[in-house]
């Protein structure tokens, strides 16, 4: 359906996330993946969605001088927001354990932002989903980390994996947003571009 609308456009996904590629394929979109390394640091005064929006824009910045008129660049970022603190991707098993332990038995927000960048303008889409975890045992957390190695996931977990099946009691908002890509909002924004 979108292919007709985008027939003279080139979609570029600047992400190595297999989940984001999956969603674009499922929307029946043609796209190419281009990666440019970005130091994903943000000013410490930013809070909640300000962080994910800042990082989605930051990831677009290395491409700005090379975009062509027909290009639509897609960059995205997801954070887990718990008690006034952003949880990104863990670097070690210990860090993953600490993140999951901190989420255990609590509610948190998953915030995803997508930047759609063209030569003319940039649209930012942001979505927030509230997630409630049951109390997780240390054994459950260790099993998940060892088996699923969640080092590419904000907050150290994937809702679509084992920990989501056994640990998530409730969500309020978009399931796909928790996977890092608010598909419905993205679809609507592509129509606006």
77 assigned to active site: yes
Q: Tokens 């969640």 map to which residue? A: 150
91 CB-contact burial (10 Å; exposed 0-12 / middle 13-18 / buried 19+): exposed
The dihedral formed by the CA atoms of 30, 33, 39 and 45, expressed in degrees to the nearest 10: 10
User: Taking every pair of C-alpha atoms in the chain, what is the biggest distance, in angstroms?
Assistant: 53
SS3 for 165?
helix
- Rounded CA-CA distance 125/115 in Å is 6
Instruction: Please say whether the beta carbons of 111 and 52 come within 8 A.
Output: yes
- Rounded CA-CA distance 176/184 in Å is 9
Q: Tokens 């084992």 map to which residue? A: 162
Q: Which of 30, 39, 71, 77 is catalytic?
A: 77
> The tokens of 34 are what?
């281009």
Q: Where are the alpha helices (DSSP H) in the chain?
A: 2-5, 18-26, 49-60, 93-103, 138-148, 162-167, 175-178, 183-192
Catalytic residue set: 77
């Amino acid at each position: 359906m979108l292919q007709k609308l985008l027939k003279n456009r080139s979609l570029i996904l600047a992400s190595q996330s297999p989940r984001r590629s999956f969603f674009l394929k499922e929307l029946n979109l043609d796209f190419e993946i281009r990666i440019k390394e970005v130091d994903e640091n943000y000013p410490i005064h930013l809070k909640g969605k300000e962080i994910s929006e800042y990082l989605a824009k930051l990831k677009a910045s290395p491409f700005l001088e090379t975009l062509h008129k027909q290009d639509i660049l897609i960059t995205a970022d997801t954070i887990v927001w718990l008690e006034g603190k952003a949880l990104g991707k863990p670097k070690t098993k210990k860090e993953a354990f600490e993140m999951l332990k901190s989420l255990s038995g609590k509610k948190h927000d998953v915030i995803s932002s997508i930047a759609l960048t063209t030569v003319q303008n940039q649209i930012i889409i942001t979505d927030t989903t509230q997630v409630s975890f049951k109390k997780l045992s240390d054994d459950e957390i260790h099993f998940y980390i060892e088996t699923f190695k969640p080092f590419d996931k904000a907050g150290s977990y994937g809702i679509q994996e084992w920990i989501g099946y056994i640990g998530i009691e409730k969500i309020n908002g978009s399931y796909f947003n928790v996977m890092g890509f608010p598909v419905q909002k993205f679809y609507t924004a592509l129509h606006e571009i």
